[in-house]
Structure 1
Amino acid sequence: MDRASAHVIVLGNEKGGSGKSTTAFHLAIYLLYQGFKVATVDVDSRQQTFTSYIRNRREWSQSKGLRVPHPTHFHLPLTRGDSIRENQKVEFDLFRQAVMEIERDVNFIIIDTPGFDTHLTRLAHSLADTLVTPLNDSLIDLDVMAHVDPVTGEPRELSHYGRLVQRARKERMAIDGRTIDWVLVRNRISMLSSRNMRLVQTGMERTALRLGCRVAEGIAERVIFRSLFPVGMTVFDPLDEDLLGGLPSMSHISARQEYRQLVDALHLPITEHVDDMSGWNPSDETRQERDHEIA
């Protein structure tokens, strides 16, 4: 990858439970297996779901003696000052400093953002080269992007988050003349076709056209993800019973294929695609045995 600095991937959505942290974690592990250096940043100082995923992986692999790749991870401390404005300033300064320190040492930085609007959320979005917005396959979740006609699926009015991203794009263009590749990802797709499902798909496609972004087929609703979180594993890890804590299933294999298709759809600057996870050398990962609180 011939770049002066890292490619920044931001996971953003103002609705909780959309799958941002799970998607961010899977992207990070996939890129590590391809031989890239990856840093991950969790700017949700309240919930820290992304950080929990990272820690679960580290603790499980240590307890089982497993050799699996780990990203260099940073998370914001929970600020407890009396002034909200001062807390936001502290978080803003810490985040900016962390990104500046690592952007030339890694190939990719993956940032997971909270499900609400903050100055930090806006900063993270303006830094994105690729913005990934997972959306559950429902009209309720689509409403976060734009208010759509319940009959035709035609967007009537952009939502707050849609306008937030549009502002971030303008800021990015003014700073370095580059745009943000924004991708809406259909997530938790139902296995059964229905009128509501078709309406959501139509609404998402028309909303994407209005917003100037792309739509990628995402991940179906699968039990496998709930079982992988406690052990910090992903569908890209080897299909090994000891590593997974149980026998792999067809759901696991299908989910892996879906995530591979999602990575392809993101059009990331990956110069070499390595099949069968052969790009990772376990000896290269000893430096990434803990996560770091940004301080």
Structure 2
Amino acid sequence: MALETRQLRYFIAVAEERHFGRAAERLMMAQPPLSQQIRLLERALGTELLTRTTRKVELNPAGELLYERGRRIIEDLQSLELDVKRVGDGLEGALRLGFTGAATYGIMPRVVREASRAFPGLALSVTGEMLTPGLVAELLEHRIDIAVLRPPVSSELIQHTVVARERIVAALPSNSRMLELAAIRMDDFHNQVLVGYPENSTVNQTLAACWLQHGIRPLYRHRVSETSTLLSLVAAGVGAALVPESATSLNLGGTVFRDVVDAPMAELAVAWRVDEDSRAVRRFAPFLEEVIRDLQGESQ
């Protein structure tokens, strides 16, 4: 006969109470069935576990061994039950996040900090400084689970929720003459040397539509994918840049951020696969959306 966890729990209660009546009350059962289960347990193991008197019971050596190791077994089973439930509920395991450009600096640190409190059992793997096309490809190829990117999203296999709209601001070298202007407008960048994001980036496409609409022709000298590299070029005096406001979290020195009166807005969205069945993703995505919305509310 195999050792039953139910009988083991009964025995542990008797061993800790040293009294069948108190153990029965603790287990919310009658005393005779409890005594019978302990007898069955002893019979199954082929040895007595308790020394019984009229007033109390004592553990014999075999009972001491069963109590010590049995208690650890029950504790492990309880821990296992909790861990399995947490994994099933999406509160345990691994989750891979990808962040676009400037969101790597303005948003990612807050997300990781808040997630460590809300999802302590979730191991986050984070990739930053990516363009939206790359993030979409990473999602489709199952290399990441959730992305913070900038719409539009080119694939129907990816669903997304727009959670923020942020201003595009000017990043100017500290010796730029544009700093003398009382207010900076988009047409002030006509024939100005700029450094920018690659042509396929969402921010660049947003700016390109604005340039075209107003007949503005900036002079792009360098295009780079990483916001940190872009701002390094600005700080070096290579040219000005137009970046999402979240990029202001990364100030390398030698750079001054200024509002642009009529600059377009850049949207930010949380995206995941349409066919995603992971509970971790389904639980984390709304949390991520809330963190970003809270951040935007604080900046307004």
What TM-score do the two structures reach when normalised by structure 2? 0.26
What TM-score do the two structures reach when normalised by structure 1? 0.27
Which entry has the higher C-alpha Rg, 1 or 2? Answer: 2
Q: Determine which structure has greater relative contact order: mean sequence separation of CA pairs < 8 Å that are 6+ residues apart, divided by chain length.
A: 1
